[in-house]
Amino acid sequence: MFALVLHSHLPWLANHGRWPVGEEWLYQSWADSYLPLTDMLTSLAEEGRTNLLSLGITPVLAAQLDDPHCLSGMHHWLANWQLRAHEAADRELSIREHRSAAAALELFEKRWRHGGSPVLRPLVDSGAVELLGGPLAHPFQPLLDPRLREFSLSQGLSDAHLRWGTRPRGIWAPECAYDPGMEIGYADAGITHFMVDGPALRGDTSLGRTVRDSDVVAFGRDLDVSYRVWSPKSGYPGHAAYRDFHTYDHATGLKDKRVTGRTVDSADKAPYDPAAASAAIDKHVADFVATVRSRLRSESARIGRPALVVAAFDTELFGHWWFEGPVWLERVLRALPEAGIDVGTLENARSRGYVGSPVELEKSSWGSGKDWRVWNGDAVSDLVALNAEVVTTAIDTVHASRNGNPEPELRNRVNDQILRETLNSIASDWAFMVSKDSAAGYARQRAHVHAHALREIADAATGGRAELATELADRWNRADGLFPSLDARRLRTDRPFGGER
């Protein structure tokens, strides 16, 4: 059996800058990836196709796809795309981009104006996709106080239920990060399966594995197959015929060149040719199907029973980073069954018994070195310290507000906002961006802005200035009002840092 898993995630970008990093990142990914992907899946679902793939959508991305500010901004962005197409000097580029922008604008106005939830829910209800959830705001869970880890995960799953009417039983853990004992928290939250990277299972990803003494199953990414599409050094998107991500028409910001060659300067790249790109897509679809078939046969022969192959990618690869990705994906989803390959979801794999013997899973992630260095290495020691400070401040402040009262408390909007700012401050994205030197200044600034908001609100709250704390929480909420159902009363503050139970 073959299972495709997509992980859709962006940090909270609304009201935090526009260009070069900020809301523009969201709108580009929305237009290039989320619009065509959901449109393609909807078309396949209308044909009666089910169990196409496992689709992870993080709560923080889902919040932006439903947010009125983001929806309005996206509508304006699509209209601006159409205007930029009119301004292109090259006639072929202008026509091609105008058609794409007009189609995207029509699709957005037809299906997306009330948010992403009404678009995604039919795909889940029809069984076209398995929905994978995750914790609020995408924290690096192994480094997180278990009390906030538990809160973030349970609230993230509840957020999914609120938006889509289903509570996910599978998750894509942020950064595929794992620490022994986390499987207990997963089981307590109702999670039956989660993703890890292939090396976490010592490269043997032919079956899911129950973790330690639990019934929770870890599925590993098959790197031989996944890296065929995309790896740190190679993959289909680098083919000469595909549209080049890095080269722009400077007057309009439109991308008008093809890759041409890895060592070719931008000024020397050839014009984009859609026909040549389409032919390359067909070639790479055939190669991928052959790779999957070969891998299934060799792994089944090796283990002496039908094997599982899991290919897993960031959703944003398909469209945003690799322009032709959505078309390739649709052709693959059609070609695999035509080649006699059984396609399903992670839940299908678990329920149908593609599960082997228990594994003593160790610390891991899908970052550099497959360990935690990206998120706790020397390059981000300042952010590690900041994260520890803000988490302690948040938990202590919420705990103090309860004043030892065992009776149920009323909803506390100040505490709610304290936790919103805390979760935004400790998002795994900031350490990743710093370690990879990708907009590191923006990442550090974001972590510190949310930490400042937390400190400001907490200082007023613990200093007995309740009216000021409420005013500050309301002000910060105007920028960071994600997760309106977040309820700080569900955070346990009376358990010491350490074990899961």
Smallest Cα–Cα separation from 2: which of 219, 150, 214, 231? 219
Residue 249, amino acid: D
> What pairing do the DSSP bridges indicate for beta strands 217-220 and 355-359?
unpaired
HEC-encoded secondary structure of 146-195: HHHHHHHHHHHHHHHHHHHCCCCCEECCHHHCECCCHHHHHHHCCCCEEE
Contact indicator for 151, 97 with CB cutoff of 8 Å: no
Amino acid letter, 158: S
Report how far residue 175's alpha carbon sits from residue 366's, in angstroms, rounded to the nearest whole number. Answer: 6
Q: CB within 8 A of 259, min separation 6: which ones?
A: 238, 239, 240, 241, 242, 243, 244, 269
Catalytic residue selected from 224, 314, 342, 456: 314
* Residue 329 and residue 318 in contact, taking contact as beta carbons nearer than 8 Å: yes
Closest by CA to 44, choosing from 336, 356, 348, is: 336
- Which residue from 257, 337, 244, 262 is spatially nearest to 52, judged by alpha carbons? 337
Which residue among the candidates 130, 150, 175, 183 is catalytic per the annotation? 175
Element of type H or E holding 336? helix 325-338
> What is the CA 67 to chain-centroid distance, rounded?
17
Q: Is 314 a catalytic residue?
A: yes
Instruction: Return the ∠ at Cα 238 (arms to 97 and 93), rounded to 5°.
Output: 15
Candidates 286, 309, 288; CA nearest to 299 is 309
Distances (CA, A) of 186 to 154, 193, 346: 9, 8, 16
Count the Cβ atoms, other than its own, within 10 Å of residue 25. 20
Indicate if 175 belongs to the active site: yes
Which residues carry out catalysis? 175, 314
